[in-house]
Structure 1
Amino acid sequence: MRTSFKFYFLAFLVSLFTGNALAQQTAEATGFEVDFETFTLDNGLKVIFHVDRSDPVVAVALTSHVGSAREKEGRTGFAHLFEHLLFLESENLGKGGLDKLSARIGGSGANGSTSRDRTNYFQTVPNDALEKMIWAEADKLGYFINTVTEPVLAKEKQVVKNEKRQAVDNRPYGHTQYVIDKNLYPQGHPYNWQVIGSLEDLQNATLADVKEFFNRWYVPNNVVLTIAGDFDTDQAKEWVEKYFGEIERGPEVKDLDKRPANLEQTKKLYFEDNFARLPELTMAWPSVPSYDKDSYALDVLANYLAEGKNAPFYKELVANKKLTPNVRMYNYNSELAGQFMLQVRAYDGTDLDKVQSAIEETFRKFEKVGISEKDLKRIKAGQETSFYNSLSSVLGKGFQLAQYEIFANDPDMINKEIEYILAVTPQDVMRVYKKYIQNKPFVATSFVPKGQVELALEGSKPAEVEEEKIVMGAEQEFDLEEEVTYQRTPSSFDRTVEPPYGDSPQVKVPEIWEEKLEKGLEIYGITNSEVPLVQFMLEIKGGMLLEDPSKIGVSNLLANLLTKGTKNRTPQELEEAIELLGANIRVDATDEKMIISGSTLAKNFDETMDLVREILLEPRWDEEEFSLVKQQVISRIQQEKASPNNIASDEFKKLIYGKDHILSHNNLGTEESVAQISLEDLKNYYNNNLSPDLASFLIVGDIDQEAAIAEVEKLTEDWSVKNVIFEDLAEVTPPAESQVYFYDVPGAKQSVLHIGYPALAETDEDFFPATVMNYRLGGGSFASQLTQELREGKGYTYGIRSGFDGSTITGPFLISSGVRSNITFEAVDLIKEILEDYPENFNEQDLEVTKGFMIKSNARKFETLGSKLQMLREISNFNKPKDYALQQEETVRNITVPEIKALAQKYVNPNKMYYLIVGDAATQLERLEELGFGKSILLNEEME
């Protein structure tokens, strides 16, 4: 990750006028409370502990009260740059820093995030590594900055710039937030610039700038340390004092004053987007900072107006006027100010003035009727479920506790929040609408495809957006091999000595129960009562595998239509029934399955299952909804044509499976195939292919075996078995020799790489050993050679990975990455070299790191409900034994270097792979012939 994403916590941001009585009432009402303790070191470091004995893991998070809002104009992006730098090296961990340590101790991967107002660093580890983590986090804070040198800074600038290209410059509508914030907040306001900063500011950052920023903000009195999980608090306190206690306090850090946007007049701007295929309108009104008393009602307002089929915007813009497939609305709160956002990506060729007119019409209707108590009740039920989901892991609890400590000065808000959510009234919702939205000025951006300026709002002015030019050899050179010396920071003890492990954690494989019903449906379950929730999944074999190749997209359309009402409920009534239970139910089609999945409050499981039965067995077959679903899917297909990543995925499937194989298709279909599908096609698919003997039901959470089985038995009573016939699939084979394929996206700021071949099914006996082999190649994130060479060594990419992806059917080995355009050849050539050398250079140290991670990480393998559900999928889909995780652990323990080398020689031959590049052909295509694979094939030209 290591990207600048924002934790909106939309349902959770709260005001400050509560006491312990309210928290106690909330705990008594829900039966759920998070216990914690806090203390502060003499140097100002605030520490929060939360003990959870359910799994032998512990989450450690260091949160600094510094984000982009603390930066200076002309030096933007520093907070996010530090999110990257702090993982690279420190005085006592050495090069590789926490990334290298994380791989050895079986951590979830050292990670971080940056927002406008804070930066955090976090990971979950087996609890025997807690002292190591405290030692390492302290080294970041007190023993890091001397290790940042000119070459290190130059390399990491390139990584961050690659991230910006990937997240902003090389994707449709990527500049929207930049244009909004630049015009919503005046120059000089700390929210006027983006968290990730500008390419120019990043390039101009000096080593002195960087050190000044660190020494000002990364001080104990500006940081919160949270530790949550299974640990001894007395021992942990000793370790925290030992490793953090002698780090010097920094200058006083004062809270910044609230600075609302105070927009004086409406601003309309437009931008011709190189990647957009559809027009998009975004509107932003000034709202309130985090924890303002009005934030709850604004959250409800956004949810009510835009979420689901009962939403006024859905009824008017989607169902009635058919202007867009959906409307997005949310209340984006930050520490100093807030903004209320509305976003509509319209259908192809739609004039955005029509969209704005429909928005204003909807607002006028809302002003007359407001929100009903019933609608408010269903929204609150969903917020309650979301709240518990956010606290379902020890890391989630740690995040929330730090958030409340920093921004509310009260970590006990974690036990008070539900009460504030539930306290919102219909009158509150209308009041905040009138106060912040009705007839108030706003910023509106019209992002339109190239050459379609006429679709922008009337009266819009061109937005100022700086686009990077692709220039060969433009990046700064650096030499990370250069020997660097620096003065070490003094300490009262030898910090170079890594602390020992604690007692080995006892891996807790959850107890699994199973049942096979009379009609062949299999049930797998795990009972777990940590949070009052249930998650479930009904998987039915089929999906795209059972489609007519001339009408691809039927199963996806069916999945979409099944949630659009039932025999006796309109789409609006069905959605309302689900939401009143605090549940969610979704239906998805994949290449090989139809899946009905969901979650609900445990107390409402039986009623939720009644609705699942209706969805599955009593479809509505609504002609109007079918027409709407088709239009929405076609719009999504059009959008995907604009995304280099989606293009790469689609074109790679064609190479892997060949054009005549059913799995070579995108299961959405094409604009042409979807257009010709009829409602009768969906009925035929439904009547002939959905059978209980092809299904499995997976369930985890706060429910016992008998109750779960009883509900699933009710589901199958009226579900008849069908004779479903699967066509034999053609065998897929690797290419005899490598070939380069290029898909031209003119002006692309990055090249998207997909390199691989058809390799293994997950049921193949070599699949897991090959996965072990791949860990050091590209599966181990920052522990992998691909990441170390291309990101850490060269600064070519923000991220790269490799892996095997199969099912009961052969799937690909795939290396995927986005690299900056002007080094496309160099990146691909380096990947080829790494693949060639890997079977020879894999050594005992590589094996030790691989074993350390893959064995120790088992301690955190089953912590969340989602991870337990995934465990049941592995058992159900691939007929694995219930203790497969322990068996795989033995495989890892016993594997040898010669075995790894043999697997590498067999499965990562760079001379028998497809090399697919999606990028700017004018500047990059020709040089790829230097790879030695002959003339590159230009796919766009072939298709035309």
Structure 2
Amino acid sequence: MKFFKTLALNLFCLTLLVSCAESQEKVSEDKEFKVDFETYTLDNGLQVIFHIDRSDPVVAVALTSHVGSAREIEGRTGFAHLFEHLLFLESENLGKGGLDKMSARIGGSGANGSTSRDRTNYFQTVPKDALEKMIWAEADKLGFFINTVTEQVLAKEKQVVKNEKRQRVDNAPYGHNFYVIHKNLYPEGHPYSWEVIGSLEDLQNATLQDVKDFYNRWYVPNNVTLTIAGDIDVDQAKKWVDKYFSEIKRGEDIPKMEKQPVTLSETKKLYYEDNFARVPQLTLTWPGVYQYHPDSYALEVLATYLAKGKKAPLYQTLVEDKKLTDEVDSYQYNSEIAGQFMMQVTAFPNTSLQEVLNGIEEGLKKFEAEGISEADLDRIKAGQETAFYQGLSSVLGKGFQLAQYEIFAGDPGFVNQDVKNILAVTPDDVMRVYNQYIKGKNYVATSFVPKNQKNLALTDSKLADVVEEPIVEGAEESFDASVVAEYEKTPSSFDRSVEPPYGESPDVKVPEVWKDELSSGIKLFGIENNEVPLVQYRIQLDGGMLLENSEKIGVSNLLASLMTQGTATKTPEELENAIESLGASINTVATKEAIMIYGNTLAKNYDKTMSLIEEVLLKPRWDEKEFELQKQSVLSQIERQKANPNSIAGIEFDKLIYGESNILSHDNFGTKESVEAITLDDLKTYYNTYFSPNITKFHIVGAVSQAEVSRSLTSLNDKWASKEVSFPEIAEIKHPETSKIYFYDFPGAKQSILNFGYPAIAATHADFYPANLMNYRLGGGGFASQLTQELREGKGYTYGVRSGFTGSSIEGTFMISSGVRSNVTYESTALIKEILENYGKNFNENDLEITKGYMLKSGARAFETLNSKLSMLSNISNYNYPVDYAKQREATVKALTVEEVKALAEKYIRPDRMIYVVVGDAATQLDKLDQLGMGKPILLNK
């Protein structure tokens, strides 16, 4: 094996990425930021990368195989993604349940994986005492797995993957768009001409021998990178890696993937009438460049500049001037051997996509005439800097990034060159790549339009070839997931069936929280954390939809949308430029219970970011033009929700749970009628009546001290006058006395969306946390949950199912949600009902042990990221939880008994008093639901 010296990756964020004069004055004040790592190669070819990060007692372990859909052959597509699923199920020494089962015991983040065109990875963050267990488990997957795959296992997992495809592609608006693009952008036989998830037909035709051949070819040590990042002893980790991985045999040499760029001899225009779309969408795709190509950096700037923000030429033309859409997107999709440059516009209802194309061409001419300025280039680079640090703010993020560079750039240290390449882009580069790849070049144009609206597609478009799956009862093959595989175990030099012991228990670090209250009434909650030079914040003004007139629902949502569209002293474009030049983000959103201002900034620019937030809060612009743009945007979003079965299910569920007299029954976007009735004066009235510091909470986490935060808020505190805000009483929430089933018809749906539940308890209720503990084995624990084990692993009905209690200071809900194969809607509903009826009765000591093990062990990683720390502060401020509530919850877990769980289940799991909402194809599924014994299903849309 070879050993490589430690390399330091030095990222000089200020001197390299921000060129404005103010920043250059601070060069000497900035600290060097670096990521240290070691690489280590076993004799069998396994590449190992170690990174030490002692900020939290956790370790991220990622196994990345250099195989994705590009290594497949036509007719056998979807194999790489299928393996992402199979490798979690079982291996010779982990047994059934594999890594998923172990994850629940060791307090892991939940073993997960992802597949791309070029790689498949498996990853998890665990408490540091479980590191040897993870190395043992990952080695077992790589060298001791394939014998456990049987015909029954394969048949079941085919169903799960097909359900995933239905959920992500077949049952989603514009779901087939990339299929059409890639079939026409890449020539037949090109590895990127088929989709990563594969086709339903190919998956169905896959044989067991096909699967074994694929595994034996690509899942070999010399095609794999193992990354271990976190609170580790590198010398000890090397010994464990050597012990568990070194005797796995090297595979055949893996050929290098040669670059295969493509050209188009003509522009191709295609259209498709989408069953789920309610508004038309146009996508333009040009052949681009492979990942890390020298031109990819300028193309990335080009994509950002053309479409994103008030100054973007395409935004100005399509959104502000022509008012054809509320958003334009432009981006690269670059992979190992080729890439593509894309523009996408989801237009307003009944908008001709030919008009959209004309607007794009007009915007591009504007860019050709004006180019990009140095100031705009610096602004974009500042955003790239912040994004870079965000990617490194967790041990898993660091591990992913190092593996990415190792596999696709040949060296984890390429991060240094990558940053230099980003910074080297000039305005001339941006114009050069535009002329080379976009201007006058052929492209693929796809028009996805609602049913019976072909007239909205681009002129001269041809019908795209898309394979739609019919809904057929009993079409899926049966299988028995309980069958145990019989095989001769792979020999090893030691007994691998013995699971390694835990290491020394980590000392769980609960972040130190500081609190304060300013004279104006603003309540402050903070955590100082200097791991990366970032600050994240969340400002919460209580109220949101709760303070609205029920006749004009949507006021707070529109107000939140308008808040960042300029201030009294800055035009929308000036405000946006000011924010982005700091490498910051300021976002505003309304919920049913609050208006939030949230985002992040580079620590060095924190004070300047807070000055802008003060402007946003105290100096609204009240721009009539921007108000009309935001209003049209919301109306478009409301229309798009009608195309999303999940959105429909959520909206209908809330209506039934809360009842017409309760304001919480509304969607806070409002309805078409309520939004159309809202005026700018309505927003001003809400602002003048309800914007007050005494109902405001300021949460902040990152590289900033309490003293710095308090000082930064002095001006806001002095200028913001407090006012009395009264909250109306919320109508009583009535609990169902009997179960009823409701059906929303979505003709042709390939899946049925299930939302089942009832009004439950508030987050402030004494039973809220114990009830969530009780739910862990039911539906809150992922693969440790009975619902997942029975509906997904046992039956193959679904890609995912979950249950849980949601609540705030107001009574929340208990809900089960899932998307199931359309032709097992009744069977899935009946099985869920049966599981709920028996859950409390069957709960036993083993269930308790798994629940306790997960809850206690997972505390080590509970507050690792800045976002998780922000959520902790929100819990403390909103629900009056004690600062050490995480520690107090440990005591609750330790004291929990089987009898207490049974009592909680009896009290809070009530399948006989629940609302059952199904969104699906009524023609094929409605009548069967009569058999549930809840009366005839009530059709919600006639």
Amino acid aligned to 1:734:
H
Q: State the partner residue of 1:341.
A: 342
Within 5 A, what are the aligned runs for 1:497-516? Answer: 497-516=498-517
**Structure 2 Cα separation of the partners of residues 31 and 715 of structure 1:** 32
**Structure 1 Cα separation of the partners of residues 128 and 15 of structure 2:** 31
**Structure 2 Cα separation of the partners of residues 481 and 703 of structure 1:** 54
Q: State the partner residue of 1:754.
A: 755
**Structure 1 Cα separation of the partners of residues 448 and 485 of structure 2:** 48
Within 5 A, what are the aligned runs for 1:528-607? Answer: 528-607=529-608
Superposition RMSD in Å: 1.2
Instruction: Say which SS state the counterpart of residue 819 (structure 1) adopts.
Output: strand
Contact 1:27 1:33 in 2 (8 A): no
Amino acid aligned to 1:188:
G
Report Cα offsets for 1:743-796 as digits up to 9, x if no partner: 000000000000000000000000000000000000000000000000000000
Q: State the partner residue of 2:843.
A: 842
Instruction: Say which SS state the counterpart of residue 815 (structure 1) adopts.
Output: strand
Gap change, CA 1:26 and 1:323, over 3 Å in 2: closer
Deviates most, 795-804 or 862-871: 862-871
Gap change, CA 1:20 and 1:146, over 3 Å in 2: closer
Instruction: Say which SS state the counterpart of residue 469 (structure 1) adopts.
Output: coil
**Structure 1 Cα separation of the partners of residues 15 and 237 of structure 2:** 30
Instruction: Say which SS state the counterpart of residue 166 (structure 1) adopts.
Output: helix
Contact 2:10 2:33 in 1 (8 A): no
Contact 1:544 1:552 in 2 (8 A): yes
Shift of 1:447: 0.3
Deviates most, 705-714 or 900-909: 705-714
Shift of 1:264: 1.4
Shift of 1:331: 1.0
Percent of aligned positions that are identical: 67
Shift of 1:711: 1.2
Shift of 1:275: 0.6
**Structure 1 Cα separation of the partners of residues 461 and 98 of structure 2:** 49
Q: State the partner residue of 1:92.
A: 93
**Structure 2 Cα separation of the partners of residues 38 and 431 of structure 1:** 38
Gap change, CA 1:24 and 1:831, over 3 Å in 2: closer
Q: State the partner residue of 1:616.
A: 617
Instruction: Say which SS state the counterpart of residue 178 (structure 2) adopts.
Output: helix
**Structure 2 Cα separation of the partners of residues 312 and 719 of structure 1:** 37
**Structure 1 Cα separation of the partners of residues 348 and 932 of structure 2:** 42
Q: State the partner residue of 1:458.
A: 459
**Structure 2 Cα separation of the partners of residues 856 and 428 of structure 1:** 51
**Structure 1 Cα separation of the partners of residues 857 and 698 of structure 2:** 30
Instruction: Say which SS state the counterpart of residue 802 (structure 1) adopts.
Output: strand
Within 5 A, what are the aligned runs for 1:341-490? Answer: 341-490=342-491
Q: State the partner residue of 2:807.
A: 806
Deviates most, 105-114 or 410-419: 410-419
Q: State the partner residue of 1:629.
A: 630
Report Cα offsets for 1:864-886 as digits up to 9, x if no partner: 11111111011001000000001
Contact 1:23 1:416 in 2 (8 A): no
Amino acid aligned to 2:657:
I
Shift of 1:31: 1.2
Contact 2:11 2:33 in 1 (8 A): no
Q: State the partner residue of 1:126.
A: 127
**Structure 2 Cα separation of the partners of residues 230 and 28 of structure 1:** 30
**Structure 2 Cα separation of the partners of residues 531 and 33 of structure 1:** 10
Contact 1:473 1:822 in 2 (8 A): yes
Shift of 1:426: 0.2
Amino acid aligned to 2:78:
G
Contact 1:740 1:933 in 2 (8 A): yes
Contact 2:12 2:33 in 1 (8 A): no
- TM-score w.r.t. structure 1 length? 0.97
Q: State the partner residue of 1:523.
A: 524
Q: State the partner residue of 1:244.
A: 245
Shift of 1:481: 2.2
**Structure 1 Cα separation of the partners of residues 821 and 851 of structure 2:** 30
Q: State the partner residue of 2:26.
A: none
**Structure 2 Cα separation of the partners of residues 28 and 687 of structure 1:** 43
**Structure 2 Cα separation of the partners of residues 503 and 844 of structure 1:** 25
Shift of 1:368: 1.4
Report Cα offsets for 1:94-143 as digits up to 9, x if no partner: 00000000000000000000000000000000000000000000000000
- TM-score w.r.t. structure 2 length? 0.97
Contact 2:13 2:385 in 1 (8 A): no
Contact 2:80 2:120 in 1 (8 A): yes
Report Cα offsets for 1:674-722 as digits up to 9, x if no partner: 0010000000000000111111101110011101111123222211111
Shift of 1:80: 0.1
Shift of 1:62: 0.1
**Structure 2 Cα separation of the partners of residues 474 and 722 of structure 1:** 64
Shift of 1:27: 9.9
Contact 1:64 1:118 in 2 (8 A): yes
Q: State the partner residue of 1:12.
A: none
Q: State the partner residue of 1:31.
A: 32
Q: State the partner residue of 2:149.
A: 148
Q: Structure 2: 5+ residue runs without aligned partners?
A: 1-5, 17-30
**Structure 2 Cα separation of the partners of residues 467 and 480 of structure 1:** 28
Contact 1:22 1:419 in 2 (8 A): no
Structure 2 residue 733 is the aligned partner of structure 1 residue 728: no
Within 5 A, what are the aligned runs for 1:279-298? Answer: 279-298=280-299
**Structure 2 Cα separation of the partners of residues 536 and 201 of structure 1:** 47
**Structure 1 Cα separation of the partners of residues 682 and 559 of structure 2:** 9
Instruction: Say which SS state the counterpart of residue 911 (structure 1) adopts.
Output: helix
**Structure 2 Cα separation of the partners of residues 870 and 441 of structure 1:** 47
Contact 2:560 2:589 in 1 (8 A): yes
Contact 1:800 1:816 in 2 (8 A): yes
**Structure 1 Cα separation of the partners of residues 319 and 525 of structure 2:** 39
Shift of 1:26: 6.8
Contact 1:33 1:415 in 2 (8 A): no
Gap change, CA 1:27 and 1:314, over 3 Å in 2: closer
Q: Structure 1: 5+ residue runs without aligned partners?
A: 1-18
**Structure 1 Cα separation of the partners of residues 467 and 383 of structure 2:** 41
**Structure 2 Cα separation of the partners of residues 917 and 501 of structure 1:** 45
Q: State the partner residue of 2:673.
A: 672
Q: State the partner residue of 2:109.
A: 108
Q: State the partner residue of 2:25.
A: none
**Structure 2 Cα separation of the partners of residues 606 and 830 of structure 1:** 56
Shift of 1:731: 1.8
Contact 1:277 1:642 in 2 (8 A): yes
Instruction: Say which SS state the counterpart of residue 34 (structure 1) adopts.
Output: strand
**Structure 2 Cα separation of the partners of residues 521 and 24 of structure 1:** 37
Contact 1:27 1:415 in 2 (8 A): no
Gap change, CA 1:22 and 1:924, over 3 Å in 2: closer
Instruction: Say which SS state the counterpart of residue 315 (structure 1) adopts.
Output: helix
**Structure 2 Cα separation of the partners of residues 325 and 391 of structure 1:** 32
Shift of 1:580: 0.3
Structure 2 residue 768 is the aligned partner of structure 1 residue 767: yes
**Structure 2 Cα separation of the partners of residues 176 and 116 of structure 1:** 17
Residue-pair matches, total = 923
Shift of 1:414: 2.6
**Structure 2 Cα separation of the partners of residues 314 and 160 of structure 1:** 38
**Structure 1 Cα separation of the partners of residues 822 and 708 of structure 2:** 56
Contact 2:107 2:854 in 1 (8 A): yes
Instruction: Say which SS state the counterpart of residue 76 (structure 2) adopts.
Output: coil
**Structure 2 Cα separation of the partners of residues 595 and 717 of structure 1:** 21
Structure 2 residue 175 is the aligned partner of structure 1 residue 180: no
